[in-house]
Amino acid sequence: IPYNGVMFLVFLIWCQCSLGLAFSLSCGAKTVASGYIPNLRMKGGDDGQTLTLNDGTKHPIIGFGTYKVGFIPASASSAAVAPSTTTTTGPSARECVRTALEVGYRFLDCAQFYGNEKEVGMAIKESSIPREKLFLASKVWCDNIYRGPSAVRQQVLQTLQDLQTDYLDLYLVHWPVPGKHVQAYQELERLKDEGLLRSIGLS
């Protein structure tokens, strides 16, 4: 790599370290209630197959992502995804997820935006895998984040219904909306206290 290229890479690394340190120092002792998202940390698990989140939850390192599984969303800026606005390619999400579970995947990464949670739920039900053996993650999209806490809550309930489960192992604010993500996160905290969500965060 030319000298200029090396110096540019060093500069980028310095920026990342500086910003990370600044965020840690500014947010470490503050809470969502005061308008800050808490500093989140992860560490490797003893089994080499999980990460331990800051709340103690064991998060699998390897999972099956369901984005573009079954069909391709019209655009990454779509507020909501529906099959009528997508391009269908290959096997259905139901078939793909069923196959993923058959070959050993137990962590499924889902989202409202992906538009296929109902099919994912069908595949989970058909697999007959005990719920406690699965790690299910999902995310709330910008449209509901913008509408406010009640819309965030309603989306969580919809995802629980679609995935046919009583709780989610991890739920994230997907692509935080400026001025709205703190309220959304606070609602996730309430849902966590109610036992519907095990861990929460930002994506």
Give kind and range of the element (H or E) at residue 23: helix 3-27
CA neighbor of 49 nearest in space, from 59, 41, 57, 39: 59
- Contact call for residues 99 and 70 (beta carbons, < 8 A): no
Furthest C-alpha separation in the chain: 57
Separation between Cα atoms, residue 88 and residue 202, nearest integer Å: 29
Give kind and range of the element (H or E) at residue 51: strand 50-53
Which DSSP state fits 33? Answer: G
Q: SS3 of 34, please?
A: helix
Annotated active-site positions, please? 114
